[in-house]
Amino acid sequence: MKLLLNCENHKNIEREINEQLEKLRTMPANDKTAAAEIAECVSRIHSHDLSQTKLPIYDAQWVVDLVRENENCECKDEIISALEYMSKFERYSYDGSLTIEKDKFMTYNVDDLRWQGEYKSGHTGSYVWDIAAIINHINDPSFSDTFLESYMRHSGKEFTLAGLYSNLYYVQVAEAVMADEFEEIIRTTRDITERKRFKSEMISDETLNRLRVNGF
């Protein structure tokens, strides 16, 4: 009976996620005016517990594997070192009251640079990865401001600045590998490996201060 209930519950979750994905597909992924509505859909998708799922995972290790497998990347060791550094940086920035939540369904498909098609072809991972992927795609501080405010209001979730910046780097490396274009990501990588810094112009300091996103 318990197995039957779990199966039924998972079917309900899958249906609810697909409904929200359908809503997202009515909004272009670069629609800056729909930031609040996009955030609400994403937060609803992230509300589900998918810890028992067998979907593939988007995380730092997945990106490391992408880099290793790419034959055209001449700076693999440097990028992998930066990924490992940012992964440690992300974990150490969380205290006992705030942990990295994983096993959330990813609404944005990094492989295809578009909204996910349906539940069964998707990935899971940290919800901060999904936030970073959407912000990186739109690449506009005014969108980030509205999106982050709406997401935090609807989801009730918090995240650290280190977590947000780490996931932005993961996403940017993944996209660089997919496109076989490494010039820009190498500059960012050297900022991390040589200067131990990462700064994104996609999110304004005013937004971070107003929403109290901190935690290095």
Q: Are 132 and 191 in contact (CB under 8 A)?
A: no
Q: Are 130 and 108 in contact (CB under 8 A)?
A: yes
Give residue 6's pLDDT. 60
Give residue 192's pLDDT. 93
- Min mean pLDDT across 4-13, 101-110, 197-206 is at 4-13
Spatial CA neighbour of 187 closest among 195, 152, 155: 195
pLDDT (tens digit, 9 = 90+) per residue, 174-189? 999 999 999 999 999 9
Angle between helix 127-138 and helix 35-45 axes, rounded to 10 deg: 160
Give residue 89's pLDDT. 85
Give residue 101's pLDDT. 80
Angle between helix 161-179 and helix 60-69 axes, rounded to 10 deg: 20
Give residue 5's pLDDT. 44
- Per-position DSSP letters for 65-130, written without gaps between them: HHHHH-SS-S-HHHHHHHHHHHHHHHHHT--TT------EEPSEETTTTEE---GGG--EE-HHHH
Given a cut of 70, whether residue 154 has pLDDT beyond it is yes
- Supply the pTM of this predicted model: 0.91
DSSP state of 210: H
Residue 98 pLDDT grade (very low, low, confident, very high; cuts 50, 70, 90): low
For the chain, list the domains and their CATH numbers: 2-210 (3.90.1200.10)
Give residue 97's pLDDT. 59
Cβ neighbours for 141, distance < 8 A, ≥ 6 positions apart: 201, 202, 203, 204, 207
For residues 207-216, give the mean pLDDT. 82
Compute the CA torsion angle 9, 56, 146, 39 (nearest 10 deg): -20
Give residue 215's pLDDT. 66
Higher confidence at residue 215 or residue 10? Answer: 10
Task: Count how many residues are written for the chain.
Answer: 216
Give residue 182's pLDDT. 94
Tokens of 109: 């498909």
